[in-house]
Structure 1
């Protein structure tokens, strides 16, 4: 069999095995994503796997560069890739995607045992932006200056809480009927 025939057979097998499984995603021809763990799990990660033209005789390209993996430290990523590399060497020359995926699922705890979430500097950036924005917005806020007479009129219309009394803008129905109509 040629490498392309092996790839086609493995692709069919993967599609039938992982049909409806949200952990498996075929990104393109010979390119896949495998999610190890649940999305809520802090130890979950995504494997990006791409087949070279001569796969399975040559190892697949495996990376952890997905955005989902940004919280994983570089040391943990390197450990995962080295352990997967060992599994690739053992299975070289055979269809190995299912084997790699299942091995990673079974050994997820071992692979992620030294995992410490990476703290990003996003909060620092956003707080400094807020500090630079806040003073400029205060300059734009300018209270309307009222004269003493305007203030007295507002106070005379409002109650002790500064609110207008209920119904201050209601129309008096009796006055409307006395203002006249066609029948008068």
Structure 2
């Protein structure tokens, strides 16, 4: 068989095996992504695999550069790629995609045992730290001081709840229109 016939047969097999599986994604007829682990799992990773023209006689290109893998350290990525390369060498010349995916699933814990999650999180400060500078700024600002007469007039304008009555600042329409005549 030619390389293209082998690729077509393997592609058909992958489509039937992983139909409806959210972990498998066909990017193109020669490029695939496979998620090892659950989305919520901190030890999950995505394999990007692309077939060269002469696949399966030559090794597929395996990458861990998907955005999903940003939380995995470079050392862990190198370990995963090295172990997958060993599997590729063992299966060279045969259809190996299913074998690689299943091997990665079975050995996820071993591959990720030295995994230290890279955290690029924003550090939160406590409310007391945030409010201290704000209160200092408030202390510096002086409130406008009202005289007793101004306070009395404000109280007389408001109702028993301390709110201004509806329409307190409305313009008398008739006076307004007759004055502008």
Verify same fold: TM over 0.5: yes
How far residue 164 of structure 1 moved from its aligned partner, in angstroms, is 1.1
Deviation at 1:150, TM superposition (A): 6.4
Q: How does 1:107-118 map to 2 (within 5 A)?
A: 107-118=107-118
1:62–1:145 Cα change, 3 Å: same
Cα shift readout 1:108-133 (whole Å, capped 9, x = no counterpart) = 0000000010122x527x99xxx9xx
What's the C-alpha RMSD, in Å, of the aligned pairs?
Answer: 3.0
Runs of 4+ in structure 1 over 4 Å off? 144-152
Instruction: Write the deviation string for residues 15-69 of structure 1: whole angstroms up to 9, x where unpaired.
Output: 0000000000001121100000000111100000111111111100101111111
Deviation at 1:157, TM superposition (A): 3.3
Q: 2:166 maps to which residue? A: 169
Hey, what's the Cα distance between the residues in 2 that align with 1:154 and 1:9?
87
Spell out the pairing of 1:118-157 with structure 2 (5 A cutoff).
118-120=118-120, 123=122, 152-157=152-157
User: How many equivalent residue pairs?
Assistant: 155
* Structure 1 unaligned blocks of 5 or more: 171-184
Shift of 1:158: 3.7
Give, in whole Å, the separation in 2 of the partners of 1:159 and 1:71.
60
Q: What's the TM-score once normalised by structure 2's chain length?
A: 0.74
Q: Residue 179 of structure 2 corresponds to which residue in structure 1?
A: none
Q: For structure 2, list consecutive stretches of 5 or more residues without a partner in the other structure.
A: 168-181
Alignment of 1:12-161 (within 5 A): 12-120=12-120, 123=122, 152-158=152-158
